[in-house]
Amino acid sequence: MNHAVQTTSPSAVAARAQGQARQPQPSVVPPVDVFENDNAITLLADLPGVTRDQLQVRVDGDTLVLEATAATRGPQDMQLVYGEAQCPTYRRQFTLSRELDTARVEAQLRDGVLKLTIPKAEEARPRRIQVQVG
């Protein structure tokens, strides 16, 4: 295995205390599966309740950052009186290998699963060398 991606957990933000002003919730670290083949790395991140508008994927140097906020929708024309379901804020970051081509990252969000495909740079891909008979 090549280990082209390393995970880093985010720091926690102060949780909302009962009776105090509303503060940001701590971030939830979404579960991620990482797959690799000769051409690319593929990450599958579980982000239930997240829509495309609430998702931010960016590369800062050699760091890939995923940030999102889930939304729960109640019935129309009704006001929430009591609720236990929270709308989590997701955050996860990865340190990327230099052998990955971060300029060609592809992202697809479907049914609460984010699929990121990061191709390997051409020079990092295995290649077959033909041997000549002398």
Q: Per DSSP, which regions of 1-134 are E strands?
A: 5-8, 27-28, 32-36, 40-46, 55-60, 63-69, 89-96, 106-110, 113-119
Query: What's the CATH fold of domain 32-72+86-122?
Result: Immunoglobulin-like (2.60.40)
Q: What residue type is 101 in one-letter code? A: D
Between 17 and 124, the more confident residue is 124
The 10s digit of each residue's pLDDT in 48-71 is 999 999 999 999 999 999 999 998
Residue 1 has pLDDT above 80, yes or no: no
Burial 46-77 (b: 16+ CB within 10 A, else e): ebebbeeebbebeeeeeebebbbbbeeeeeee
Give the model's confidence band at 5: pLDDT under 50 very low, under 70 low, under 90 confident, else very high. Answer: low
Domain boundaries, the chain: 32-72+86-122
Between 86 and 18, the more confident residue is 86
In order of 8, 42, 44, 105, the CA distances from 100 in angstroms are: 18, 11, 17, 9
Regarding pTM above 0.95, the answer is no
